Amino acid sequence: MSGVVGAVLMVAYYSFPKRIQGIQYTAWGNWCMFIAGLGFGLRGIAPDWLSIVVANGIFTIGYWFMLAAVRSVKGLAPLPQKPALVGLLIFSLLITYWTYAEPSFDKRTILAAGVGLLHFIAQTITSWRTHQRMTDYFFTGLMVLGIAVAGTRVAGSAWQLLHNGADAGFFTPNTVQLIYLSGFILLSFLHALGFLLMVTQKQQNELVCQTHIDPLTGAYNRRALTEVLPQQLRKPDSTSVEVAVIICDLDHFKSINDAYGHEVGDQVLAHFAQLASELKRKNDMLVRMGGEEFALVLPESTRTQAMALAGRLHAALNQRQADLVPHYTASMGVYADTLNNNDLVNAASSIRELLRHTDTGTYLAKQRGRNRIEIVQFAA
């Protein structure tokens, strides 16, 4: 089973974009377990150093690859290799000791299944801490099942050892062995399925982001205003929502492009987006409207709150910018209104009206000398 799953995963690896990392690690992990399974099957035919020591070592390496795969697809830091190598050495020495110096199948099983138990616990923690979609819940559930299977194996062997029972062989038929082998075969398939679902979901999320994110600044684009913002504004337990908007137009931006070049102009745009992102709240939405114009949409915010944010942004722009980019300023308009459920039915039109009203403030700011904030008191 693991060999077939590994082959399928390698096909998936070459089918997905190379920026989606981790698939190859899962494939290598399954192949390690397939090779280890062949080694276990040769017990009594091949020497013990191959069918026990080496086979268990390869199996443990497979666990490492599988954990590395999940961390990779979640965008987490790679697993440190030196501690893993030290752990593999200690594991192999103990397996060797309980194979030759003090032969004990149960002790080897407790050790190997214990490593598997730690692996499934680590997988569960990693998946749960970064869960976002239903696929993550599904994968976490599978890892909990793995904890149950490995825990059953550890408990069964420990009970056998404590009651001074005779060592059972790997393929000796008994209830615990049947649960372990059946559960592991099922997990091998389900693990690959759950992992591929996570990878597919990640690719889908990236595609959605590409349609809504401005690649230069990392801000949302205009399309997101009508596709993402309405979802954020709708509240099932509320009939209306206050929305404030700040439109920022960078002053004399053409002069910056003419004097320093378009590359520096791009750096200015990215600098503004980073600064605004640092000052806004998490649920506020920064949108690049086009060119040098940005909008900050503040759900559940009053005009006073919007003015406070605009004031902080204005003050930050008028401070020395550490020569990272040429000094620049922005003209800002601020407007706030209350949208009810009827407004949100035709959200695109309501959002356009908000922007139109706010833009009158930005226009006034430019007319009155630039580098200032103008409040739109009433809808024009």
Among candidate residues 364, 286, 302, 370, the one with its CA nearest the CA of residue 335? 302
Neighbouring residues of 18: CB distance < 8 A, sequence distance ≥ 6:
none
| 307-311 contact pairs (CB < 8 A, 24+) | 307/334, 307/373, 307/375, 309/246, 309/279, 309/280, 309/284, 310/246, 310/334, 310/373, 311/373
341 three-class SS: helix
How far is C-alpha 332 from the chain's CA centre? Answer: 35
Alpha-carbon distance values, 276 to 156, 247, 329 (Å): 58, 12, 13
Q: Are 179 and 155 in contact (CB under 8 A)?
A: no
Residues 6+ apart with CB under 8 A from 173: none
CA angle at 130 for the pair 129 and 134, rounded to the nearest 5°: 110
- Strands 330-340 and 373-375 turn out to be parallel
Q: Which residue is catalytic, options 242, 263, 292, 374?
A: 292
* Tokens (6 digits) for 124: 């569960």
Distance from C-alpha of 151 to C-alpha of 157, rounded to nearest angstrom: 10
Give the chain's radius of gyration (CA, Å).
Answer: 30
**CA trace torsion 302, 308, 309, 311 (10° rounding):** 140
Told to judge if 292 belongs to the known catalytic residues of this protein, a careful annotator would answer yes
How far from each other are the two terminal CA atoms of the chain, in whole angstroms? Answer: 69
Q: Using an 8 Å Cβ cutoff, are 122 and 190 in contact?
A: no
Tokens 């997905």 -> residue: 16
List the catalytic residues: 292
